[in-house]
Each structure stands twice: as structure tokens, then as C-alpha cells.
Structure 1
Amino acid sequence: MHNLYDLDMERSILSSIIYSGDNLAEIFDTISAGDFYLKGHADVYLAMVECMNADLPIETTFLKTKLGSKFDEEIFANIIGTNSILDIKKYATELREKSIKRSLVQIAHQIPNKVSEDKPSRDMVDELSQSFYSLVEGSAAGVIKESKEIIVDVLAHLEKQKMLENQDIVGIDTGFKELNEKTKGFKNGDLIIIAARPGMGKTTICLNLMSNVLQRGNGVVFFSLEMPAEQIMLRMLSAKTSIPLQNIMTAKMDDEEWSRMSDACEDMSNKKFFVYDSGYVNIHQIRTQMRKLKSSHPEISLCVIDYIGLMMATSNYSDRHLQIAEISRGLKLLARELDMPIIALSQLNRSLEARANKRPMLSDLRESGAIEQDADMILFVYRDEVYLEQEEKEREKRAKAEGKEYVPKFIPNKIEEDAEIIIGKNRNGPVGTVDVIFQKEFTRFVDKSFGAIHMAEFTG
């Protein structure tokens, strides 16, 4: 156990902070008071942080005042008598390492007790996984914050927001101007549901959103339960290069298109894009994979699941409504834990197609009202032309069956069509409709102001 702490190292770090208060700012994000093995050292570090927050010099007089009855003459004398160090960051990292290892030993001691508990094994694994993740992430889940701490966090967030190029966006840029205006972006900790009937393009709009996030240098994890990873990449490359998907899939491209394709492939190969394309996944597996990936790649800022209806439940509920409720709650909690938005796709009930106006509403969400309750934002994808085309085909079929002349009333546009992103729920903003354009050949949605003539700008 002795190699799991080093009192000389702890004294050296504290001595260096007294020697120069700037040293505290350098290691403030690396260690906390709980990382010190000796309680007296932890108390001194806390007093130093209090001095820093109050804009007081980190000197003996002020530290004694802050420590009050916790001031220990001997501990303090030992700190003052220890030489300060040059590379304080390196020492702080080592101190944190020892702290994590001590915590690992404690968790290991808990395992025999957990095994004897009357709980399913996967729940125990999940709890232990949470403990391990919290160690490396320094998560303060469940800690009660005082008002002044919250205000410090709020001011830090506002300062960060002020420095942004686009101050109107609070979360992740969606890539759609009007959608950004209404939602202010996808915020950390939010669960966003994108729902539609089959064939409306909910997967496509997600691929567009993911491409936009990747282009900004952030990472994305995509749990694809319906489509293999290669097919996903082909669609993203088509949207990125403005080369029709059909041409890419059949490799029928001219030299200039091959060149564009090659550049796009090279660009995408350098992105932090992770795809899990097994047809089976449950909330435990998503949680485990996301914790692991987020720890290794902190730049990951979005998780997408396609789609929620294909996820497996971990409980013994036979009622699918209850299973979906468990899944949606689990995704919301995971978004909070990882401090990032999670987008989950969902199917809509077929019953909406019996209505004259087929635009989706919240009541059309399939299988569970819990999705509506847990989601911070619900977006519906709607393309009126899908239904107009269906009606036209039925009209043609009827005319042929009755031996009548068929005169088309609706001729679909093969290149692009009007589409809508309907904001059905927005916890922190307005609801409403965002008009966009769906470009069929390139499997992508673009802003209404773009259209075919702006394709080059979009891909650039």
C-alpha cells in the first residue's frame, strides 16, 4: 500500500504553491483535495483554493486564517521546510495516479460484498463500471453544490460563451441556420429524439448532423442497429462530395469525381468517427462503450443511436412500453453523466397515415409516452412529397385497373424536394417548423436558402 501514496511528494506540491501562487492555477484542473493521502495536507490544499477564489495571497497568514481550528503547526512546518519543485504539473499528475490506484483498491474490496447482494450481475457490473469511469473522469456525480459554486460555474460558462465565434449557439451547431436559431444548438446533457415514419430520411438527417460535427473537429459515436458501417460511410461521402450515391456505389465516376472522392476519403479517415454496427445493443452496452470511448477520446461530443425501437431491454419487463421507458431514461441519464448531447432516432405510429394532415405530432411517438417525458427536444422529419408520390402511384394503378387514361396530377422532382424539420418539443426554447430541402441524389438535407445552385458552397 505504501507505493500508493508519497507524503514527500504531497509536501513538495504544497510547498511549491506557497512559493508561487501561480502553481495552483497550473494544477487546479489536475488534482483535488481528495487526492491527498494525508488529511492535514488535504485541508491545507483546500485553504489554498479558498485563498485563490477570494483573490488573497497564498501565504502563511491567510492560510492560517482559512484553516482556523484545522491548522496543524507540525504539518505546516514540514511543508514550509520542504523544497519546492520545478515541474509541478508532472508531480500533480503522479499524485492523481496514486489517488486513483488507492480508489481502485477500495472498489476491489467492495466486489465480494456486491457479489453477495441479491442483484442481477449486469447491474453490479454497471455500478462498478460507473465507479471506474468516475475515477478517471473525476466525476462529481451526486455532489451537492452550494449557491456560490453554481454561480462560479455559470460565470465560467458565460465567459466561454462570450468568446465563441457564434454566440447565439449554446450547444453543438446543427448545420441548419433556422434550426440553430430556434434550438440554440444541441446542448450538453440533452436527449434529442428525431422521429419519422420509414423513408422520410431520419437516418439521413442524422448523418448530415454528424458530418457537420466532424467537420468542426469534434468526435462522434454512431450506434447503427440497421445499417452497416460501410453503407453509412458511403452516404456520408456522397453528401460530402456532391457525387450521387448511386454513382459511388457502382464506382461510375469520372476522373474529377474520383479525385474529389479520394480527398473526401482522406479527410474522413482523419476524423474521430466511431461506428458500432451490431444489430443488437442494450443500454448497458451503450453506457460501457461510451464511457470507454469518451475516456480515450475526450473530443467526442455527440452520440447517435439509430434507432431506439431496435434497442434491447435489460429488465424483465414483458411490456414494450416499460422497456422503452427504461431505455429512454437510461439514455437521458447517460447524456447527463457524459455531459454531451445524445440523439436517438424513433419510429412513429402508422396511424398518422390515416389522417388528412400527416404531419407528425407528439402523440404519434411509438411505444411510449416516456420518450416524450425524458427528451429535452423532439424533432420530426416530414416530406410531403413522399405521400403525394404514393397517392400518385395508387391513382395510376386504379386508372390502369379500370382501363381509364392516366393523367398525372403530381410529377416528383428527381433532384430535390421541400422538407420540414418540425420541432415538437423544445425544453428551453420555441417549437415550430424549419423549412429545409432534401437533395435525393446526395442523400442530404440542406438549408432552404441553399438548393441545387449552392451545392458547391455546401460541400466546400
Structure 2
Amino acid sequence: MNSIGRAPNDQTADGGLLGLSQRLPPSNAAAEQALLGALLANNKAYERVAEFLIPEHFIDPIHGRIFQAIVRRIEAGQLADAITLRGEFEHSGLLDEVGGTAYLAQLLTAMVGIINAGEYGRAIHDAWIRRQLIDVGETVVNNAFGRDPELDGTKQIEAAEETLFKLATEKGQDGGFVTFERALTDAISVAEKAFHRTGAVSGLTTGLRDLDKKTGGLHPSDLLILAGRPAMGKTALATKIAFGAARSLLVQGRETGTMPRGSVAFFSLEMSAEQLATRLLSEESRVSGERIRRGEIGQKEFDRFVQVSRELQALPLHIDDTPAISLSAMRTRCRRLARTKGLSLVVVDYLQLMRPAVGTKPDNRVLEISMITQGLKAIAKELDVPVLALSQLSRQVESREDKRPQLSDLRESGSIEQDADAVMFVYRDEYYLQQRMPKDTMFDSADKFHVAMEAWQHKMELAHNKAELLLEKQRHGPTGKIDLFFEGEFTRFADLDTVHGV
């Protein structure tokens, strides 16, 4: 009995498993011939396989070439049969390569019926997936035996997961040109979603009314930068956006009677998952996080705290608090979450605490940050989700009289401004005003001190519980200032009710 006739789990005489090289790769030549025959007999059969089958899925390159010619003619609105293909292959000089006229006629006899075309296509595609899995397995085995000494075990796992994720999502359709017709169709689809959705938000909602109006929500493949100086509330605002997005996913799922179709990944490099959860509970229960930590809350507040925690348990929000996580590890975990739970938004707090991809050794910090932002943009495009990354600002902001951040404050951080689709700055004038409270020792008379104090108190009243979100760059829309409400006690951002003067 030769090796081809053995079962996949047969063993060699010495007890070892049969080598992969001694087995024939999975294929289904009969299905390939039957499908091509069905397509030549009736071009409408193509509709049954158009969404998932491409020429590269055929094990026989001749069959792949014939399928490609059939598809090209059908999509051009032309007839694809044995006669028209014969003329096309004769003109291109490839008729002999595809077996000549006799083979095209033979394919017609292999056709069992066009009603089975979809099943033939799935059989071809399944055999291709199995061949790809064999290739992945061989690569994993070879790397594990030390073919590449620079790849340690962790890197090998990340590489294998990346390959498997691409296989699961792309299904062999490598990147390439997209026709303008397809691009227009996608654009109309996005506009239609905005038309039918309340508030004209085509992307994922942030939970903040005025921000959604300005941006249309969070859009797939966009990299958004939220920057600010320490104590401005970057993490609190990012938490608010992550919560708003997760809640909208939960509501959509409940409306359709299904589980949420996506989730939010929050990479907290500075705060622990417990600290972040406490902050979110504080915001929603309106119980001070500081009092929660000290245990200075009454039974009524504690009950409310517990009730809110039960309501939040169903949120599709996942927190990863790995410190100094690498770009490659983040990419791997996002792929895994997208594959298992679905992924709708990635939040990174914050990018200066990240490490670049494993194996890269940038010459300086500026280049390192540039590699990280470029990597985050690549994650956004690969997974087709928005990525919101927080960023610290340089201290040059503090040296100006007007401390509102500007795009120029990002220049020291490499290509953040260039890579981002949107750049936002969070600013609270109240924070800086508190530091400027007049002191009687600064004035030579009590009258001057009182005048200065009244002027300061007036400014503090105007700035109290207010924050500014400065949208300085937006690749797909307008820029400008967005006024927000900020409650310092609960580190909570919300919409500002300008009508009633909140």
C-alpha cells in the first residue's frame, strides 16, 4: 500500500507520524471541472460563487485561468461559453496552455447541473483553506524547530495568529485595486446608514452629542488622536467615549434580539483594569471614586453602586491593562478579539507608554513614536475599526500665556499629526485658573487684592464645570471647538446644556 492510500493518522514503521511531504494536498479536481462546466453552460451560475471564490482557490492553475477568463467576461456583461473563450484564448495565444478546444468541450460534459454550482464552489474553497492550513502548520513546525533563530516562542505565536486571522477574514483575497464603481457603492452605503440612523451619525457613536455632530461618529479604519496635558481629563474622556460606544452596541443588539455584533477594546497602559472600572462606576452611579476607595459611602450609595455595576456587566467592553504592551502584542490581541467577539473600537491610553513591534530597534524616541502611530493606523485599516489613541503633549504648552494646545505641540512626537485622521485636544481653563488664585502678599493694598480676587472669581464661575474639546484636524470633516460639561468629583464628561446655562 503506497503512502497516498494511507489514512491521515497512519504512522511509519518506526512509530512516527507520516511526513506532510508524503501526502497529497487536499483537492477536488472533479468539483473544479464540474463548476467550470456549469459556468460555461449557464453564466448565471456565477452568482452562486461570486462572493467567495477567486482563481487562486483552484489547485489546477489551468482551471484557475479558465475561471478568471469566465469571470472577466461575465463582469464585463459579455457571454462566456466554450466558443467565446476559445476565441479569447486563441487571441492571447493561451489556447494550448488551457488544453485546447477539446478540453473546453470536455468541461461541458463534466457539468452535472448549475443548481449545484454553489456546492462545487464551496468544495473548491474548502480544499484551498485546508491547503493553506497545511502551509501554516508546516511553517509553525519549521519555526519551532529553530529555522529562524531570531523568532522566539512568543513571536512565533504572534506570527501564526496573524496568518490564521488573515486566512479567516480575507479568505485569500489579497489587497489590490478597487474599482471606482465599488468605492461609490461603499460610499452610498455609508451615506444610507447616516440617513436612516437617528442624529445622522454614520459611524459608531461616542455618546457625546456635539462630538457626533461634528464627526458623524467614529468611522472604520480611522486613527483618532486625543491629546492634552496631564490632569486635563484625557482618560476620563476616552472612558466616556468607550462606554458610549459599548452601550450603543449593546442597545443595537437588544433591539434586534441578538448578542452585540461588536465590542470595544480598551488598552489601559497607565491604570489597572480595577481602577478603570471604578472610574466608570463612579461616573455612572454619581458616587465619588475617592470616597469609594476610602469606604466613605452610605448604604444607599453603596446599593446604587452595586445596582449600576450589575447594569454595566453586559457591556461589550474588554480591558487590557498590560503595562508597556508592544504593538505586535496589541495587534495579536485585537485580531483574537475580532475573531471571537467582534471588534468595533480600539482605545489606547496612552501611546507614549507603548513599545514598538517586537524586533524593531528605532534609533531615537521620535522614530519610535512614529512607528507606533503608523502601527496603530495599520491596525485600524487591517481590522476596519476606528482606533482612538491618547497622547501626552510637550511642556512647551505651559510656557505660553494661552495654554490651549495647538497642532504644533505634537511635532516633537514624530508623525502623529501626519498619520492621524483626526486630532483632538482636551482643555480645561478651570485647571489653570485655580493655579492663578490671587494671594494678598502679591498686592500692596487690600483694595487691589479684593479687585483681583473678584475678577478671578468671575473667571472661575465662567469656567466652572466646563471643558473644551478642540478638534484641530479632521480629514473628512470640519474642525472647531466643542464645549463639554465636566464634573471633577466624578471625573465625568457629558454634553453641555447651553440652552439652560448648565
TM-score, length-scaled by structure 2: 0.74
Q: Secondary structure at the match of 1:441?
A: helix
Please point out which of 460, 467, 470 is paired with 1:419: 467
Change (3 A) 1:79 1:211: farther
Change (3 A) 1:156 1:348: closer
Offset at residue 328 of structure 1 (A): 1.4
Q: Does 1:307 align with 2:337?
A: no
In structure 2, what is the Cα distance between the partners aligned to 1:213 and 1:62?
53
Q: Secondary structure at the match of 2:344?
A: strand
Offset at residue 78 of structure 1 (A): 4.8
Residues 45 and 115, structure 2, Cα contact 8 Å, conserved in 1: no
Residues 437 and 451, structure 1, Cα contact 8 Å, conserved in 2: no
Matches within 5 A, 1:289-300: 289-298=333-342, 300=343
1:458 is matched with: none
Q: Does 1:77 align with 2:108?
A: yes
Offset at residue 123 of structure 1 (A): 7.5
Matched AA of 2:388: I
Q: Deviation per CA, 1:181-230, whole angstroms, max 9, x where unpaired? A: 33333322221111011110111111111111112213111110111112
Change (3 A) 1:221 1:16: farther
In structure 1, what is the Cα distance between the partners aligned to 2:404 and 2:466?
14
Offset at residue 268 of structure 1 (A): 2.9
2:378 is matched with: 333
Matches within 5 A, 1:437-452: 437-449=485-497
Matched AA of 2:135: Q
Residues 40 and 75, structure 1, Cα contact 8 Å, conserved in 2: no
RMSD (CA atoms) = 4.1
How many residue pairs match? The answer is 445
What's the % identity of the aligned pairs?
27
Please point out which of 397, 404, 410 is paired with 1:352: 397
Residue segments in structure 2 that go unaligned for 5+ positions in a row: 1-22, 250-261
In structure 2, what is the Cα distance between the partners aligned to 1:414 and 1:442?
20
Q: Deviation per CA, 1:85-128, whole angstroms, max 9, x where unpaired? A: 49x57x76665443223123334555759966696668777665
Matches within 5 A, 1:231-310: 231-246=275-290, 249=293, 250=295, 252=297, 255=300, 258=303, 261-262=306-307, 264-298=308-342, 300-310=343-353
Offset at residue 285 of structure 1 (A): 0.9
In structure 2, what is the Cα distance between the partners aligned to 1:206 and 1:295?
24
Offset at residue 325 of structure 1 (A): 1.6
Please point out which of 368, 372, 386 is paired with 2:413: 368
Offset at residue 235 of structure 1 (A): 2.1
Please point out which of 446, 467, 478 is paired with 1:430: 478
Q: Secondary structure at the match of 1:279?
A: coil
Change (3 A) 1:160 1:170: closer
In structure 2, what is the Cα distance between the partners aligned to 1:55 and 1:446?
54
User: Which is further off, 51-60 or 71-80?
Assistant: 51-60
User: Which is further off, 62-71 or 1-10?
Assistant: 62-71
Residues 45 and 114, structure 2, Cα contact 8 Å, conserved in 1: no
Offset at residue 172 of structure 1 (A): 2.6
Change (3 A) 1:257 1:21: farther
Change (3 A) 1:251 1:220: farther
In structure 1, what is the Cα distance between the partners aligned to 2:227 and 2:283?
21
Please point out which of 188, 197, 212 is paired with 2:229: 197
Please point out which of 23, 37, 59 is paired with 1:37: 59
Q: Deviation per CA, 1:384-428, whole angstroms, max 9, x where unpaired? A: 000011222xx44x7499998986544557996111111122222
Q: Secondary structure at the match of 2:107?
A: helix
In structure 1, what is the Cα distance between the partners aligned to 2:124 and 2:286?
52
Q: Does 1:154 align with 2:184?
A: yes
In structure 2, what is the Cα distance between the partners aligned to 1:84 and 1:105?
31
Residues 25 and 131, structure 2, Cα contact 8 Å, conserved in 1: no
In structure 2, what is the Cα distance between the partners aligned to 1:453 and 1:93?
62
Change (3 A) 1:353 1:141: farther
Offset at residue 138 of structure 1 (A): 1.0
Change (3 A) 1:260 1:227: closer
In structure 1, what is the Cα distance between the partners aligned to 2:217 and 2:297?
38
Change (3 A) 1:39 1:416: farther
Offset at residue 436 of structure 1 (A): 1.3
Residues 415 and 440, structure 1, Cα contact 8 Å, conserved in 2: no
Residues 50 and 66, structure 1, Cα contact 8 Å, conserved in 2: no
Residues 14 and 45, structure 1, Cα contact 8 Å, conserved in 2: yes
In structure 1, what is the Cα distance between the partners aligned to 2:86 and 2:306?
66
Residues 11 and 78, structure 1, Cα contact 8 Å, conserved in 2: no
TM-score, length-scaled by structure 1: 0.80
Change (3 A) 1:15 1:351: same
In structure 1, what is the Cα distance between the partners aligned to 2:480 and 2:206?
16
Matched AA of 1:311: M
1:210 is matched with: 242
Change (3 A) 1:351 1:16: same
1:387 is matched with: 432
Residues 182 and 429, structure 1, Cα contact 8 Å, conserved in 2: yes
In structure 1, what is the Cα distance between the partners aligned to 2:108 and 2:173?
36
User: Which is further off, 149-158 or 40-49?
Assistant: 40-49
Change (3 A) 1:361 1:374: same
Q: Does 1:137 align with 2:159?
A: no
Residues 419 and 438, structure 1, Cα contact 8 Å, conserved in 2: yes
Q: Does 1:101 align with 2:96?
A: no
Residues 12 and 84, structure 1, Cα contact 8 Å, conserved in 2: no
